[in-house]
Structure 1
Amino acid sequence: MARSVYVAGLGPAVGKGVVALGIVELLSRQVAGVSVFRPLVPAADRDPLLTTLRERYPGPVSPAESFGVTLSEATALIAEGRREELIGRIVERYRAVERQSSSVVVIGGDFADRDAETHDELPLPRELAFNARLSTEFGSVVVPVVSGAGRNESSLAAAVGSAYHSLTDLGATVAAVIANRVPPTALGGPEPSLPVPFWAIPEVAAIAAPTVGEVADALGATVLYGPPGALERDVLDYLVGAAHVPTVLEHLTDGALLITPGDRSDLLVAASAAHAAGTVALAGLVLTLGEPPDPRVVRVIERLNTGLAMLVTKADSFHTIAHSGRVQAQLSTPRKVQTALGVFETHVDTVALSKVLDVARSARVTPLMFENDLIDRARADRRHLVLPEGTEDRILRAAETLLRRGVADLTLLGDPAEISRRARELGVEIGDARLVDPSTSPWRDDFAERYAELRKGRAVTLDLAYDVVRDVNYFGTMMVSAGYADGMVSGSVHTTAATIRPAFEIIKTVPELSVASSVFFMLLADRVLVYGDCAVNPDPDAAQLADIALSSATTAAAFGIEPRVAMLSYSTGKSGAGADVEKVAAATALVRERRPDLPVEGPIQYDAAVDPAVAAAKLPGSTVAGQATVFVFPDLNTGNNTYKAVQRSANAVAVGPVMQGLRRPVNDLSRGATVKDIINTVAITAIQAGAK
């Protein structure tokens, strides 16, 4: 039977989505095949939370199987007195999901008293009793979510105790109780007296606030103007612009949505200019009465490059503010998801929660499990990393996520004013990052002296060194060398050579290795393989190939992959001959001599390394053939083409290149790297720094 956790919200707007997200994330790190199920949904294709979770954690069941019944179906059955049939239908649908899944997270329904479209009264069952009944029918343990909004310590303790006892009195098995949206004054007080764990999650404005896009949908507004990402900004406040410009400017606050008639060109230009100047960070602009602004005004605002959306609605200001204030935020954007995960992981002891839920780690490793494990390990031993490309959009978006999740402390290089301006335009928050301009940093003189001393054999003068360390990659590498950072990640806009050349000059390789090299983690559907070297050494000799194999095995072990090394060639065993085969054979012999404990096979062909049937025919009795985890390619041409072929043909996720063999970690990004790629690489670099 699948493990099942029932997340039940006790009361409206408790934010149980944050808890459901955190639990699905926790389970997905441990087992493959996690599904999400909702007993009741507004409509078959309209449940924002279910959509978000399914997109982030694609499970084994289809969207059509992920819910029990719609609200209209439930209403009809209850109106006819067929409540037990309603329960039976939901349970039947749940069992179908359970049979396909290793674990199921059930998210209790939101019980509105009126239909969302017709506004007719809905004769729905009491939420608490309904959730308790379903949890027992499903065989689920329950994690109730209690609202902490507006409560003090004593009232919070009473609400938590009431939730636990009410559910247990109804026959439910409560695993833990979580209070969400708790004000700061109620945090840190005496814990309620419960026989199960209790955790409190604070109110976070970035989660509770709707986005500009959600407000636009609620208003039925048209997006007149707005660059990509403008609709994802959080709306923290509303301001109706009806006064003169100085008065409105005085009342503008960070995250405010300015609501004003479209003919108030003075307010539109003034507010946009204030945002562009950095005096306030607005969420967006809403124009009422269906009146667009003068095109000449729009052109001026576009030239200000504010990054704000401009919406037009037919409603007047009164109805616009009334509708906007009723919008409930959803976990609808990657930023909100990462923020929610960050606050959940900060305030809920996930190790203890895993024990309560009796989560046993699966032997199968999925890409999501591997990536989540990277985040977990980096957070457990938090390091300080430097990102030289501080003004690049992808770096800024990744930095926001990394800081929210607590993956690493960060230094961003570049002009602080320019970094802050671009972050403000993108609507990202990097408040905890250290911003350093290499041109004006007090470290520059010291770095120049250090670099000149290191390179004096290459006729590098102090004046030349002073210019060299102004380069962001050299400056970042000097930070790592001097101990101001534990590692560096660059390459989203720089070439591989520009990123790693400073590391070779300044940090250098570990003494026992002749070359630094790289690996890719190849995340297949059910396992993780290590490919090396696919990015650095064009044609290594036998000794260098042995170094690459040893470094790759060490890297694999450091990331939880048992190293079984295949030294690849076009020949298996003694089936072929030639200089290339002899090189691989010599490298294999060197690896065995230096690491007798390390399982290694070579020369070996790729099919014999991965396929047990082929291995049995070509190399019977081998401890590596058919079950290799580390693949060492004879040259860069073979390695680079193979990893790309597997990535594209097998739909694998390639994480890397990950540099190895350096005395301190420096990693290179592809210039096509996504935000997700950057986050993974930073986490890997942090883990490498901890290992060093």
Structure 2
Amino acid sequence: MKTLFLAPTRNAVGLSSTALGLTRALERQGLKVAFLKPIAQTHEASTDDSVHFARTLAHLKTPDPISLSRAEEQLSHGAEEELMETVIALAREATGGGAATALADVLIVEGLALNERNVYAGALNASLARNLEASTVLVSSLSGVTAGGLADELEIAAQNYRRSDGGGLSGYVLNFAPPGLDFGTLMADLRTHSPLLASGELPLLGVVTESPALAAPRTLDVARWLGAEVINEGEAGLRRVTSTVVTARTVPRMAHLFQPGALVVTPGDREDVIMAAALSHLSGVPLAGLMFTSGSAPEDSIEKLCRASLTSSLPVMRVGTNSFGTASRLSRMDARVPHDDTDRMERMLDFIADRLDIVPLGARLRTPEVTGERRLPPSAFRYELIQRARAANKRIVLPEGDEPRTVRAAIRCAQKGIARPVLLATPERVRQVADGLGLTLPDGLEMIDPDTIRANYVAPMVELRKHKGLTAPQAEAQLEDTVVLGTMMLALDEVDGLVSGAVHTTANTVRPAMQLIKTAPGAALISSVFFMLMPEQVLVYGDAAINPNPNAEELADIAIQSADSAQAFGITPRIAMLSYSTGESGSGEDVEKVRVATSLIRQRRPDLMVDGPMQYDAASVLSVGRQKAPDSPVAGRATVFIFPDLNTGNTTYKAVQRAAGVIAVGPMLQGLRKPVNDLSRGALVDDIVYTIALTAIQAAQVAAQHADA
């Protein structure tokens, strides 16, 4: 399934009508289209305009958008990632499933229209497009702008939506083109001012001309806008206002203005105008209506004379403002189509769809991805992580059961159904910690006092370590450590995974696992990866936590384990074997180690895309990769980064994490028979929650492998 994000370049560009018009145009091509307005446009309690018409005219099951108040509150508190995860969930709801199970061919997403109040909307739209893995259609207007100004506008907007791999843009639409526009001259001028448009990277998808007929509101809408008293409703729900006649002159000098669609605005004492309007109506001219101003009404004698017209299909209304004030208010009338004016919106969508050239889109939307690759953005990664963990429903032991961050994380996991956490600590102590944090322990959160169960694991531990001569007293002493105790629970299949490290070192967490859990079949070593939640996509870094100086054989094993982990979590692995030189440009023992490891990977796993030695910039930046390794399938597009040693890996991940403000999920351990995962001692509550989710998913994968075996 493909996602198209419609983004405005400035205020009042006709964003909603274009989004719905594109939906209709794609449906005409036989595509199954879903529609989403992720965040409501206004603070109004009523249904968003585009959502309403998507449901009533396109009959789409469009979910309710996130309220603007809620979105603004989350943005103001730095919770944009939480907001994006909710948007991902709405996208899944709109399309009827996940990326692989979606019932739609394409999802149309309408961004926020820009106005003087929502100064954050431009950046938020770019973030929405990125996290929804969308390609952007820019929507602009030819109203009040020169060709040079429009070209600059499109160039600037495109920079916000273009991805680092050169993708991210699908085209642009121009609205409100004046009748008689010299299209050829316009395009020539745009290409002269814009290298982007001249290159064809951003194709024109349509030019929609102004249409007075489509802009015409019903007389009923005018009455609502002005708060008018309806004296005679007539055909107020059918007739449309295409012009306004404000009676400042004598009838002979304005009679030619009494045309179909004219709204006659007059004081009630202008008998000549009222009689002229009545005669026009009787002669068959379908005026939009007659509006009395200043709260006035015609004399009884005139009303009786014109009664046949004033009580027929001609709408007659009255307002308290004078003629000038009434005309002024009419000039400021809201251009939005009312929700009950489905006829106008139906015609508008057909009008726009007729003028969109979706050939540049059509072929792209129908063509399946050649590689099946997916750039997994961070919000989608977190959303899918939580959903898969919920489905796994695994029991995860937390040996640091009374540590405050761990308690918070356990409460959240239990409340959200992410896992079934088991806190190893006295229940009284856990309650004290929760009370101190102002939290309530949910029903069903499991707490186990280590002193009450320790004796159960002495004999099994002696059996597991008998080849090392472990005695019962020694086992009992080691089991005083809750990490060892939790590891024994995992070894005996009483829990499905273990997460520790908030107060323990990596060695404290990993050593018991190596002694009691052991490596998985076929695994030569234990290694680790971090999932780096970069702005555009999630990358995998390995090994940055376990192996200090792996040799070529070990480096190859780390790369293969890391690639498999990436694949398991929805990331297409493109492995960059990192070094201080690229290709054949460097020499030395360290470079040769990476070169040999790369060769070993190709021999053992010819299905994996791998290249090395490669510098970090050549692996991560497309332009640099094309220059330094033009024939590489990995350069500039790597998703799995394998560091030559722990010093390089740990330093790099922490530098990227801190300097770029990137969330690093992990380290996730690889190569164990059962999942044990370490935390950084500086881990945040969110880090612990996501690590618990990772562990639950790993446990489900282990269970599936055992079932297949």
State the partner residue of 2:442.
Answer: 430
Q: Does 1:52 align with 2:73?
A: yes
Tell me the secondary structure at the aligned position of residue 689 of structure 2.
helix
Q: CA deviation at 1:509?
A: 1.1
State the partner residue of 2:102.
Answer: none
Higher mean displacement: 456-465 or 532-541: 456-465
Q: Does 1:382 align with 2:393?
A: yes
Q: Does 1:394 align with 2:405?
A: yes
Q: 1:581-629, CA deviations, whole angstroms, 9 ceiling, x for partnerless residues?
A: 1111111111111101111111111111112222222222111112111
State the partner residue of 2:602.
Answer: 592
Q: Does 1:439 align with 2:432?
A: no
Equivalent of 1:497 in 493, 507, 511: 507
State the partner residue of 2:426.
Answer: 415
Distance 1:653 1:91 in 2: 30
Distance 1:559 1:581 in 2: 30
Call closer, same or farther: CA 1:654–1:476 in 2, change over 3 Å. Answer: same
Q: CA deviation at 1:91?
A: 9.8
Distance 2:36 2:404 in 1: 33
Distance 2:670 2:518 in 1: 11
State the partner residue of 1:486.
Answer: 496
State the partner residue of 2:277.
Answer: none
Q: 1:129-167, CA deviations, whole angstroms, 9 ceiling, x for partnerless residues?
A: xxxxxxxxxxxxxxxxxxxxxxxxxxxxxxxxxxxxxx9
State the partner residue of 1:474.
Answer: 484
* Partners of 1:545 and 1:634 within 8 A in 2: yes
Give the letter aligned to residue 528 of structure 1.
Answer: V
Distance 2:5 2:528 in 1: 40
* Partners of 1:34 and 1:59 within 8 A in 2: no
Distance 2:578 2:485 in 1: 38
- Percent sequence identity over matched residues? 47
Q: CA deviation at 1:446?
A: 3.8
Q: Does 1:516 align with 2:526?
A: yes
Call closer, same or farther: CA 1:58–1:549 in 2, change over 3 Å. Answer: closer
Q: CA deviation at 1:38?
A: 3.1
* Partners of 1:397 and 1:428 within 8 A in 2: no
- Higher-Rg structure is 2
Q: 1:345-397, CA deviations, whole angstroms, 9 ceiling, x for partnerless residues?
A: xxxxxxxxxxxxxxxx9965432222222111111221110011111111111
Q: CA deviation at 1:57?
A: 2.6
State the partner residue of 2:287.
Answer: none
* Partners of 2:556 and 2:600 within 8 A in 1: yes
* Partners of 1:36 and 1:53 within 8 A in 2: no
TM-score (normalised: structure 1)? 0.51
Tell me the secondary structure at the aligned position of residue 451 of structure 2.
coil
Tell me the secondary structure at the aligned position of residue 485 of structure 1.
coil
Which runs of structure 2 are paired with 1:249-260 in the superposition (5 Å)? Answer: none
TM-score (normalised: structure 2)? 0.50
Q: Does 1:38 align with 2:42?
A: yes
Q: 1:483-510, CA deviations, whole angstroms, 9 ceiling, x for partnerless residues?
A: 1111000111111111111101111111
Which runs of structure 2 are paired with 1:542-621 in the superposition (5 Å)? Answer: 542-621=552-631
* Partners of 2:574 and 2:638 within 8 A in 1: yes
Distance 1:646 1:679 in 2: 21
Q: CA deviation at 1:460?
A: 1.1
Tell me the secondary structure at the aligned position of residue 43 of structure 2.
strand
Distance 1:571 1:401 in 2: 45
Distance 1:530 1:433 in 2: 32
Which runs of structure 2 are paired with 1:158-307 in the superposition (5 Å)? Answer: none
* Partners of 1:32 and 1:366 within 8 A in 2: no
Higher mean displacement: 456-465 or 623-632: 456-465
Give the letter aligned to residue 414 of structure 2.
Answer: L
Give the letter aligned to residue 57 of structure 1.
Answer: E
Call closer, same or farther: CA 1:461–1:31 in 2, change over 3 Å. Answer: farther
Distance 1:617 1:401 in 2: 47
* Partners of 2:414 and 2:420 within 8 A in 1: yes
Call closer, same or farther: CA 1:91–1:456 in 2, change over 3 Å. Answer: closer
Q: CA deviation at 1:425?
A: 3.2
Tell me the secondary structure at the aligned position of residue 389 of structure 1.
coil
Call closer, same or farther: CA 1:670–1:60 in 2, change over 3 Å. Answer: closer
Structure 1 spans left out of the alignment, 5+ residues: 5-29, 42-46, 62-89, 106-122, 126-166, 173-360
Tell me the secondary structure at the aligned position of residue 656 of structure 1.
strand
Q: Does 1:373 align with 2:384?
A: yes
State the partner residue of 1:270.
Answer: none
Tell me the secondary structure at the aligned position of residue 543 of structure 1.
helix
Call closer, same or farther: CA 1:653–1:476 in 2, change over 3 Å. Answer: same
Call closer, same or farther: CA 1:476–1:31 in 2, change over 3 Å. Answer: farther
Q: Number of matched residues?
A: 388
Higher mean displacement: 96-105 or 661-670: 96-105
Distance 1:672 1:407 in 2: 22
Distance 2:226 2:695 in 1: 52
Q: CA deviation at 1:660?
A: 0.9
* Partners of 2:39 and 2:71 within 8 A in 1: no
Q: CA deviation at 1:431?
A: 2.5
Give the letter aligned to residue 74 of structure 2.
Answer: L
State the partner residue of 1:140.
Answer: none
Give the letter aligned to residue 52 of structure 1.
Answer: E
Give the letter aligned to residue 384 of structure 2.
Answer: D
Q: CA deviation at 1:398?
A: 1.0
Call closer, same or farther: CA 1:33–1:391 in 2, change over 3 Å. Answer: farther
Give the letter aligned to residue 626 of structure 1.
Answer: G
Q: CA deviation at 1:641?
A: 0.8
Give the letter aligned to residue 652 of structure 1.
Answer: V
Give the letter aligned to residue 39 of structure 1.
Answer: H
* Partners of 2:375 and 2:571 within 8 A in 1: no
Q: CA deviation at 1:428?
A: 2.8
Distance 2:641 2:430 in 1: 40
RMSD over aligned Cα, in angstroms? Answer: 3.7
Give the letter aligned to residue 73 of structure 2.
Answer: T
Structure 2 spans left out of the alignment, 5+ residues: 8-33, 46-67, 85-112, 133-224, 228-337, 344-371, 703-709
Equivalent of 1:691 in 684, 689, 701: 701
* Partners of 2:529 and 2:542 within 8 A in 1: yes
* Partners of 1:567 and 1:600 within 8 A in 2: yes
Distance 1:124 1:398 in 2: 55
* Partners of 2:530 and 2:544 within 8 A in 1: yes
Q: Does 1:654 align with 2:675?
A: no
* Partners of 1:33 and 1:59 within 8 A in 2: no
Q: Does 1:631 align with 2:641?
A: yes
Q: Does 1:464 align with 2:487?
A: no
Distance 1:31 1:590 in 2: 48
Q: 1:270-294, CA deviations, whole angstroms, 9 ceiling, x for partnerless residues?
A: xxxxxxxxxxxxxxxxxxxxxxxxx
Distance 1:528 1:91 in 2: 29
Call closer, same or farther: CA 1:39–1:554 in 2, change over 3 Å. Answer: same
Q: CA deviation at 1:685?
A: 0.8
Call closer, same or farther: CA 1:363–1:571 in 2, change over 3 Å. Answer: closer
Equivalent of 2:545 in 535, 539, 545: 535
State the partner residue of 1:85.
Answer: none
Distance 1:627 1:677 in 2: 26
* Partners of 2:374 and 2:571 within 8 A in 1: no
